[in-house]
Structure 1
Amino acid sequence: MRKALTKSLFSFYSIPRTVNRNTRTFTTSIKLSSNMEKPFEKMEEQIPKAPEPTSAAAPKQEEQELPKLSPQEFRIYNRMAEHMDMFHENFRRTWNLLYGACESKKRPTGMSIRQFIGVGDDFCHHLTIHHTIEERHIFPVLARKMPAFKKELELLTQHKQIHEGLDKFEEYLGQCRSGEKELRMDEMKAILDTFGKVLWQHLDDEVHELRAENMRRYWTPAEMARIPI
């Protein structure tokens, strides 16, 4: 489903691949048989010495004290968090409607079964498009400098866990729409419970990573203007 949906997505500029860096390891071997015959002081002289501390020993980027942002700078750096939270708030509201109906065991007043199933279908469709855009066009850009957005780290792993449950939810709604199954609130709730916790955690985590105080550690104001969202 996710591959088919990407055909309808608007196109962004192409994103270059990150360059892999090769690491080197150095090994040192010491012949104990010859050293054991020498005084301890002589042996100590032959032990490889660590280089003097360099700039790499300076405090990490996230540990450094940074000056307070001006109101204008805050708006620039907080733009992505605000936009993302706006999208996420729509998902939260729809989830609450669906899950609330499951808990009360009745649909919202005035909403037919077909309309209720349609709300669930829209939720699945919009969340899938949202995550596909993130993975194809936004995360690759952020991953150039931000570890949290690199592949297989926390945020992308959450996507996979969410869609395992979302696919089951979409399948269930399809069966109810076709008449193959009768819509039962307890069955629907059981499916939502399989991915609800990770979904809500993800909605919060993503916005937290995009907040102004975090973004300023990795990006310049000019770079912020070029990040697609």
Structure 2
Amino acid sequence: MVSKKNMPPASDSSEPLPALSPSDFRTYNRMSEQMEAFHSHFRLTWNQLWEACNSTGKRPGGLSARQMIMMGLQFCSQLDFHHSIEEQHIFPVLAKKMPEFRKELELLSQHKQIHAGLEKLEKYLGDCRSGEEDMRREEVKRLMEGFGEVLWTHLDQEVQTLRAENMRKFWSLEEMRRLPM
């Protein structure tokens, strides 16, 4: 028998949901906290690259051209890998109950926009690494500007969507314990 405590409330209910115990809150908020940790890393790296693009001096932002190229390529690779895991393993499970994670809706559409920008940045930085292009910080900045707004919106929106108050509308406590991530 399933206890009422483990049953998710109807998602279309306009009544406020009862308060969660600290333990239940942690269970419902787990995915949001884990996603925030990943996203904080991406924000930090983005900000370091951005600062290096906007700084002046011998080593803008404390990064040599080679360090900036390698950091940028690593950023592109890690974000691509992160999104691949989400799209293949996490979003399909969440999409069973949460419309935000269904194909062609906002979060997945944002991934496509971000990847279009990542591909351009990665190609440019790869060409710089191989010597086919000279590394120009203003070009890195221009490429980052091409997808920065959608990236930052996405990083915030995805974490917000996974917060306890939203997750509990769709999932029971037992289901939350079994969700991937």
Does 2:136 match 1:194?
A: no
Instruction: Indicate conservation of the 8 Å contact 2:52/2:68, yes or no.
Output: no
SS in 2 for 1:193: helix
- Structure 1 CA distance for aligned equivalents of residues 77 and 15 of structure 2: 42
Check conservation: 1:155, 1:202, Cα contact below 8 A: yes
Query: What per-residue deviation string (whole Å, max 9, x for no partner) do you get for residues 50-89 of structure 1?
Result: xxxxxxxxx9625232101111110000000000000000
2:147 equivalent to 1:219: no
Structure 2 unpaired stretches of 5+: 1-9
Letter in 1 for 2:29: N
Deviation of residue 180 (structure 1)? 1.1
Match for residue 100 of structure 2?
Answer: 148
In the alignment, residue 60 of structure 2 is paired with which amino acid? R
Q: 1:125 corresponds to which residue?
A: 77
> In the alignment, is residue 160 of structure 1 matched against residue 92 of structure 2?
no
Q: Which residue of 2 aligns with 1:108?
A: 61
Deviations 1:89-122 (A, max 9, x none): 000000000011111145332x332222110111
Counterpart Cα distance in 1 of 2:66 and 2:143:
19
The partner residue of 1:134 within 86, 98, 108 is 86
SS of residue in 1 equivalent to 2:146:
coil
Cα distance in 1, alignment partners of residues 90 and 120 from structure 2: 26
Structure 1 outlier segments of 4+, above 4 Å: none
2:52 and 2:61 in contact (8 A); partners too: yes
1:185 aligned partner: 137
For these two proteins, the number of residue pairs brought into alignment is 170
Is the Cα contact below 8 Å between 1:102 and 1:189 reproduced in 2?
A: yes
Q: Is it true that 1:205 corresponds to 2:157 in the alignment?
A: yes
Distance in 2 (CA, whole Å) between partners of 1:149 and 1:64 is 24
Aligned pair partner of 1:82 in 30, 33, 52:
33
Aligned partner letter, 1:71: P
Distance 2:22 2:64 in 1: 47
Equivalents in 1 of 2:81, 2:95: separation in Å?
20
Q: 1:42 matched to which residue of 2? A: none
Larger gyration radius, structure 1 or structure 2? 1
Against the structure 1 CA distance between its residues 170 and 75, is the aligned structure 2 distance closer, same or farther, given a 3 Å change threshold? same
RMSD: 1.3
CA distance in 2, matches of 1:179, 1:108: 22
Determine if contact 1:137/1:228 at 8 Å carries over to the other structure.
yes
Matched position secondary structure for 1:187? helix
Cα contact 2:114–2:151 (8 A) shared by 1: yes
Higher relative contact order (CA 8 A, sep 6+): 2
What percentage of residue pairs aligned between the two structures are identical? 57
Q: 1:151 to 1:100 in 2, by over 3 A?
A: same
